[in-house]
Amino acid sequence: MLIALLVVSGTSAVIYYGQYQTEASQNQRYVRELNTALASYRSLSGSFNSSISDYGRTLTLLSSAVANLNTSTPAYRNASVSLASLWSSYQQLSRLSGRRALVYSVHLLVDLGNGTRRWFNNTSIQPGWNGYVATLVLLKGNLEAAWYPQYGEHFVTAVDGVMQNSKASWFFWDYGGGNWNVAQTGADGLMVDNGTSIAWTLCGYDINYNPSCSP
Amino acid sequence: MRNFLEGRNSLEWKSLKLVGWIIQPTMEKTGNVAIIALFTAVIVGSDLALSGPEFSNIKLLDTLVFVSAYLFGFRVGAAVGILSETIWSFLSPIGMAGIITPFLVAGELLFAAAGLAASRVWGPEPRAISEKALFLGALLAICAFVWDIETNAATALIQYWPTLGIGQLVGTMFNPLTLAFALAHEGSDFAFGCILAPSFILLIPKAFRRRV
């Protein structure tokens, strides 16, 4: 009886030991696969972060190109319209990657001159953008201008779909020292810093092109 | 030389004279090439130094093209203007000028022509130059005004071609932006024409004589 019990328990022990060995080897395989998957994930994550950085650099280059392209070319029109959506998707991807994109917060006012004022508060822009590019992105490309390569400046003729006319022109303003100051040389000359407030107003003007209104 | 020329017909002789005419002036103009290179280098360097927003549209380019033409003739002045404006049109930190470059270069030829005209009128006499400083400044300011008009018209042409109308032309040439830049350009050219141009016209020949 004792011998039979020993045989049965020994056989069971051998069977279970065999199953244990099989499970252990499967576990090791799973661990190896998990390690491989983790390495792939880390590599993918690194590539994603690298892609995000490249995306940021591409946006910088694209915004620089937009700032220096003749505004009548199809390339300018396409790029100026695409820039806003690219900037938005870049910010979303940066958030997904768990890190915050380096952005400046700005406030933009558009005064259409007929009592309609649109504020774009705490909107994010990329560091290095000038007043023109920032406006172009925040208004989703809804800006018309003539490009003066000899001055490196745009003369803005329409903002948010409202064209200038024979009596009123678009003026660009920068808030500083408690006052709104009209930009003497256009929006391209103003590098927008964090917390900057800028404005566009459709104003009449005197013979010396001094604006008759302010934001 | 005599042996070399013996037995050659008049056509060959004329050809040799033509070759000599081409080569000889080139060799004689080595000094001019050095002057052109020197002026161009100074212009491009000063353009870079004055490329910040605080010096918007203020440049020594016009004054130096004018002075080079005044002292060394139209061809040298024109070469300085063409080279320096072309280089700057590609190297400018605010971006390449692109298709407007020929118009910018053509505008610089005006300063070279003005330099030649001024030298014909006032000549190289130092006292006359210092007394005419205001006239030199005014001449440069007028040239700057014409340059602004010409390049703004070219901007309108490029921007609105082929549908350019009178309204678009006038609107592109005269607006708050162009007024601000024109004032900076013409004002600085007047100041440089009054102060720097007479000084350069007096000092550069002295410096060259000392070298020789």
Q: Hey, where are the domains in chain B?
A: 2-211
Q: Which segment, A70-84, A129-143, B51-65, is predicted with the most confidence on average?
A: A129-143
Which residues, in sequence order, are bridge partners of residue A144?
A158
**ipTM of predicted assembly, 2 dp:** 0.78
CB contact under 8 A, B176 and A169: yes
More confident position, B67 or A2: B67
Q: Does B97 touch chain A (CB under 8 A)?
A: yes
* Residue owning tokens 């006359």: B128
- Return the pLDDT at B145: 96
Answer for the pair B141, B185: CB distance below 8 angstroms, yes or no. Answer: no
Q: What is the dihedral of CA B109, B110, B114, B117, to 10 degrees?
A: 70
End-to-end CA distance of chain B: 33
Which helix (H) or strand (E) segment is A170 a member of? strand A168-176
> What is the mean pLDDT of the segment spanning A63-90?
88
- Return the pLDDT at B26: 56
> What is the mean pLDDT of the segment spanning A68-92?
88
pLDDT over 70 (residue A39): yes
pLDDT over 50 (residue A186): yes
More confident position, A207 or A4: A4
Which token pair is B37? 């290179």
3-class secondary-structure state, position A114: coil
Q: Does the B2-211 domain belong in CATH 1.10.3470?
A: no
Give B26-83 pLDDT, tens digit per residue.
555 788 899 999 999 999 999 999 987 777 788 999 999 999 999 999 999 999 999 9
More confident position, A183 or A185: A183
Decide: residue B9, CB within 10 A, 0-12 exposed, 13-18 middle, 19+ buried.
exposed
Q: How far from the centroid of its chain's Cα atoms is residue B190's Cα?
A: 16
CA distance A14 to A34: 30
Give B141-191 pLDDT, tens digit per residue.
999 999 999 999 999 999 888 888 998 899 899 988 898 899 999 999 999
CA atoms within 13 A on the CB side of B48: 9
- Return the pLDDT at B1: 42
| Shortest CA distance from B159: residue in chain A | A72
pTM, full prediction: 0.78
> What is the mean pLDDT of the segment spanning A113-133?
91
For testing contact with chain A, the best of B160, B177, B183, B185 (most A CBs within 10 A) = B177
pLDDT over 90 (residue B24): no
Size of interface A-B (CB pairs under 8 A): 73
pLDDT over 80 (residue B13): no
Length reported for chain A? 215
Average of per-residue pLDDT values in chain A? 90
